[in-house]
Amino acid sequence: MAISESASREPQTSQQTSQQWLENEPAVEVVGITKRYGQVAACDSVDLVLRRGQIHGVLGENGAGKSTLMKVLIGLVVPDAGQVIIDGRPSVITDPIDAAAKGIGMVHQHFSVVNALTVWENVALGDQDRLNPQAVRNEIGDLSRHYGLDIEPNAIVGTLTAGLRQRVEIIKCLRRSPRTVILDEPTSVLTPGESEALFEGLRRAVEDEGMAIALVSHKLDEILGATDLVTIMRRGQVVANLPTSQSDAPGLARAMVGRPVSLRSERMLADRPLADRPTQAERAGSKSGLPKPVQKTASLEIRSVYAQGDDGRSLLNGLSLAVNRGEIVGLAGVEGNGQRPLGDLLSSLLPVSQGEVRVDGHPIVCGKAGAMARARISVIPEDRHDSGCVLEMSVAENLFLADPTLVSRRGVVDRRKMMDRAQGLIDRFAISCEGPTAPMWSLSGGNQQRVILAREMAHAPRVLVAAQPTRGLDVGAIEYMSSQLRQAAEEGVAVLLISTELEEILDLASRLIVLSEGRIVGGMDRDQVDIEQLGLMMGGAGT
């Protein structure tokens, strides 16, 4: 039944439905929702109204309670108090199936697709009727065309890039023809082009079909560009509710954090002319009194590395790069061009077929567990759930998982010492959690990221590789993470910043290199950046 319903989703049908909804009629109302976790009130009598035909932005710092609120709406979290009213009727949402039946669908912050299954199997997961592969594949085709989300239905999801995996998730949600859609940080893994396409599709759904959309995001320009209304949450409470047209980025940031924040884009404007600005290396050099080409041998050096995946696909294709002490090198490139294999290489997860990696001139064995870490290469991994942390273990255990020697004597963990040290790191990195023994899964996404940063910095690394380090962070936390990376560089660490966000690289790096199809296709100094040239290189066109 679901199949025939959504298979008939043609442009004409959506025209018809457009007459059936009233402009700005409430689709979902949340009244006084409260949810506590121990001492923490994740949501504290929150009110929110999602109206048909509107995109409603929800902003807030890490841990503000956004995801918790959204999970109440799809029945994954049972609130302690409060009510959800759907189409005017008070409703109790018991689980995601129930939510889908009541017209609410969600695209999750952390992927909820099964990597071992194909795209169409994932999309069909959770239906009730008989399995009809061809019908599902056809529907995926229809939805792809309608919303501009191209995807191959027979691909195994685990082989897709993060952007495509999320596309699967969005299609899965839209296929149930929801009247209300919740998107929790949908663009954190998308390229700018992909995000734009997504918002175009959403706008169409809102205007033609009267969908109500809640969009959780940390990206202010995204909220400003895509939403009609914004709600700002802080520490579990709604602190502001205003039409997007009456707000601007500094105002939103201030409301969100509760203090003025220096925004990356503003800083960049203020920093012009660029040539006047000292580079990180210069700053680091002047501060610690090091000569300018800091050392003859680079701290991290990768020499024409080739590596293949299990399926024989080439992942790294003669990649060479060097990072000196005290500099931040930004590695730009479109997602899926070798960022992940490079991160894996430097986490000892990827053996190479040719080439070598050196730290301070000493060659390091590739693909041998722990070899890179022993050479004091620290990696903040791209996907914190895949390889970043163990969700079932406590914050303290996660902090010292990679190197228990810091808190143990003759192989026996000293629990007191571990707790003390963990508390120290929690304070230093301002991790908001119940304490060192809180399980990792109870932390919000942004705070999990801080734990990983703390863990990597606790090792006094020589080389710090940060892969998409601010993905999913709020503006305050981004500011913090950036200052930590700068500080690390100033202390003489060689920092390699892998990011698909050009802004981030332009803000932090003193030198840029561009990755395309598994190798470096070019580079330039921060002060001589030519955006157009950079774009060409990222597309694999420049030389």
Partner 1 sequence: MGALLDIIGNEVTYSSAMRFAVLLLFAASGEWVAERAGTLNISVEGMVLAGAFGSAVGYDLTGSTVAAVFVGSVAGFLVSTIQANLSHRLPADQFVVGLTINILVLGLVGFLDNVLEPTVVRASQLTIPVLASFPVIGPALFDQPWPLFLVYPLVPAMWWLVYRTRWGLEVRASGEDPNSADVSGIHVNKRRRQTIYVAGITSGLGGAYLVLGAVGSFADSIVGGRGFIAIAAVIFGGWTLRGSVAGCLLFGAVVSFRLSLPDQGYDGINTEFLSALPYIVTIVGMALFAHRIRPPAALAKPFLRGLN
Ligand X SMILES: Nc1ncnc2c1ncn2[C@@H]1O[C@H](COP(=O)(O)OP(=O)(O)OP(=O)(O)O)[C@@H](O)[C@H]1O
**Does 68 contact ligand X by CB under 6 A?**
yes
**Does 310 contact partner 1 by CB under 8 A?**
yes
Report the site for partner 1 in 357-416 (rule: CB under 8 A): 391-392
**Does 37 contact ligand X by CB under 6 A?**
yes
Distance CA(41)–CA(43), nearest Å, equals 5
Nearest-approach distance from CB 422 to partner 1, in angstroms: 21
**Does 154 contact partner 1 by CB under 8 A?**
no
Report the site for partner 1 in 124-143 (rule: CB under 8 A): 124-131
Distance CA(266)–CA(248), nearest Å, equals 12
Q: Which does 6 bind (CB under 5 to 8 A by kind): partner 1, Mg ion, ligand X, none?
A: none
Nearest-approach distance from CB 58 to ligand X, in angstroms: 9
Q: Which of 41, 70, 100, 475 binds partner 1 (CB under 8 A)?
A: 100
**Does 518 contact ligand X by CB under 6 A?**
no
Four-residue CA torsion sign, 471, 473, 474, 479: negative
**Does 117 contact partner 1 by CB under 8 A?**
yes
Tell me which residue of 487, 419, 420, 407 sits closest to 453, measured CA to CA.
Answer: 487
Tell me which residue of 296, 298, 281, 295 sits closest to 357, measured CA to CA.
Answer: 298
Comparing CB distances to Mg ion, the nearer of 58 and 467 is 58
Nearest-approach distance from CB 184 to Mg ion, in angstroms: 6
Nearest-approach distance from CB 107 to partner 1, in angstroms: 11
> In this chain, which stretch among 155-163, 399-407, 441-449, 502-510 interacts with ligand X, using CB under 6 A?
441-449
Distance CA(147)–CA(125), nearest Å, equals 21
**Does 48 contact ligand X by CB under 6 A?**
no
Nearest-approach distance from CB 392 to partner 1, in angstroms: 6
**Does 113 contact partner 1 by CB under 8 A?**
yes
Query: What is the DSSP code string of 248-287?
Result: -HHHHHHHHHSS----HHHHHHHT-SGGGSPPHHHHHHHH
Q: What angle do CA 400, 401, 402 make, to 5 degrees?
A: 95
Distance CA(223)–CA(503), nearest Å, equals 17
**Does 5 contact partner 1 by CB under 8 A?**
no
What are the backbone angles phi and psi of residue 212, rounded to the nearest 5°? -105, 130
Distance CA(8)–CA(1), nearest Å, equals 11
**Does 96 contact partner 1 by CB under 8 A?**
yes
**Does 476 contact ligand X by CB under 6 A?**
no
> In this chain, which stretch among 51-59, 93-101, 348-356, 450-458 interacts with partner 1, using CB under 8 A?
93-101
Q: Where are the beta strands (DSSP E) in 87-127?
A: 89-91, 104-107
**Does 155 contact partner 1 by CB under 8 A?**
no
**Does 114 contact partner 1 by CB under 8 A?**
yes
Distance CA(490)–CA(34), nearest Å, equals 44
Nearest-approach distance from CB 158 to partner 1, in angstroms: 9
Nearest-approach distance from CB 97 to partner 1, in angstroms: 4
* Measured torsion, CA atoms of residues 144, 145, 146, 150, in degrees rounded to the nearest 10: 30
What's the one-letter identity of residue 143? L
- Per-residue contact flags (x/-) with Mg ion for residues 437 to 466, judged by CB under 5 A: --------x---------------------
Comparing CB distances to partner 1, the nearer of 365 and 393 is 393
What are the backbone angles phi and psi of residue 155, rounded to the nearest 5°? -70, 145
**Does 443 contact ligand X by CB under 6 A?**
yes
Give the Å distances, CA to CA, from 28 to 34, 210, 216, 315: 17, 13, 16, 46
Query: What is the DSSP code string of 121-136?
Result: HHHHTT--S---HHHH
Q: Which does 446 bind (CB under 5 to 8 A by kind): partner 1, Mg ion, ligand X, none?
A: ligand X
Length of the chain in terms of residues written? 543
Q: Which of 63, 79, 163, 333 binds ligand X (CB under 6 A)?
A: 63
Tell me which residue has tokens 């590395």. Answer: 305
Q: Which of 442, 459, 486, 523 binds ligand X (CB under 6 A)?
A: 442
**Does 444 contact ligand X by CB under 6 A?**
yes
Chain centroid offset of residue 424 CA: 26
**Does 54 contact ligand X by CB under 6 A?**
no
Give the Å distances, CA to CA, from 137 to 98, 124, 202, 290: 24, 9, 21, 61
Tell me which residue has tokens 């921060």. Answer: 526
**Does 347 contact Mg ion by CB under 5 A?**
no
Nearest-approach distance from CB 474 to ligand X, in angstroms: 6
If one counts every other C-beta atom within 10 angstroms of the C-beta of residue 291, the result is: 7
> In this chain, which stretch among 48-56, 108-116, 257-265, 465-473 interacts with partner 1, using CB under 8 A?
108-116
- Per-residue contact flags (x/-) with Mg ion for residues 34 to 73, judged by CB under 5 A: ---------------------------------x------
Report the site for partner 1 in 63-92 (rule: CB under 8 A): 76
Contacts of 116 (CB under 8 A, 6+ apart): 156, 157, 158
Q: Which residue ranges make up the site for partner 1 (CB under 8 A)?
A: 76, 95-97, 100, 108, 110-117, 121, 124-131, 172, 310, 391-392, 441
Q: Which residue ranges make up the site for Mg ion (CB under 5 A)?
A: 67, 109, 445
Q: Which residue ranges make up the site for ligand X (CB under 6 A)?
A: 37, 40, 42, 60, 62-68, 109, 432-433, 442-446, 474
